[in-house]
Structure 1
């Protein structure tokens, strides 16, 4: 057995890049969620919906699901919670009578305005481990990996 606990020449799960991306993303999301929950009573899914609406102005639940890459059930729950709290409102969708546009309310916009500086502060804190040129290279690499994943056909099922 080697020092890494591996005798068959294959990498361990901890060395598997998709696993590393996932656990890193979860660790960052957990840190952010703790701060958002403590200060604003928001879960990370709720904040993601608010962030998209803050940028887009309005969106349907389907558009939110696509933009966040979250499960539609999670988006639905987040939207319902935000609506119950008065942070999001539904408006008729003239292009599709079966769906609604979701928009931030005045209170929702106010919280969004408070959260954005906090989000940028957390980002600076996390990325302080990298030099400025490393940050830019990392962002570019993530964009390329995302684009590759988006453009790769899923394996056919046998």
Structure 2
């Protein structure tokens, strides 16, 4: 059996990370310039927009961001009045985070820009390729999750 040589430009985890970082950089510049949001702040807003309330622990799981990043983003959003913290109805120790009216309005303004950026970045791909990419990303995520758990 021949031993493979690691070539970084051919190493798929590296290539995936570079592509992800480039896409995130484009989005971060747009969100920062237009809405004064960081990518973690936007991710929290987007996830909260899809829920009736969510804990910081659930946000960590859903976004795959670490506790410190989620906590900092939540503190910044709360400081701007974009999210509310409420006692969890079944567990008084944790808090549910929800969007305030201002946060919901910001989401309604950012979401179309996010979709526009997605179209600009991925618009060159054929719809069938996009479907395949989504399927492949799902399969890659499931395989990686099995290694983490």
The two structures share one fold, judged by TM-score above 0.5: yes
**2:85 partner SS:** strand
Q: TM-score, normalised by structure 1?
A: 0.89
**1:94 partner SS:** coil
Q: Which residue of 1 aligns with 2:79?
A: 84
Structure 1 stretches of 4+ with a deviation exceeding 3 A read none
RMSD of aligned Cα (Å): 1.4
Q: TM-score, normalised by structure 2?
A: 0.94
Q: Which residue of 2 aligns with 1:141?
A: 136
Deviations 1:78-129 (A, max 9, x none): 0000000000010110211111000000000000011111111111111122
Distance in 2, matches of 1:120 and 1:40, equals 15
Are 2:101 and 1:98 aligned?
no
Q: Which residue of 2 aligns with 1:121?
A: 116
Distance in 2, matches of 1:149 and 1:138, equals 16
The Cα shift of 1:134 comes to 0.6
Distance in 2, matches of 1:43 and 1:31, equals 12
Segment drifting more, 143-152 vs 79-88: 143-152
Distance in 2, matches of 1:153 and 1:45, equals 22
Are 2:117 and 1:109 aligned?
no
Q: Which residue of 1 aligns with 2:70?
A: 75
The Cα shift of 1:15 comes to 1.2
Q: Which residue of 1 aligns with 2:26?
A: 31
Structure 2: 5+ residue stretches without partners: none
User: Of the two, which has the highest radius of gyration?
Assistant: 1
Structure 1: 5+ residue stretches without partners: 1-7
Distance in 2, matches of 1:119 and 1:49, equals 14
Deviations 1:56-99 (A, max 9, x none): 13101000011000010000000000000000010110211111
The Cα shift of 1:152 comes to 2.6
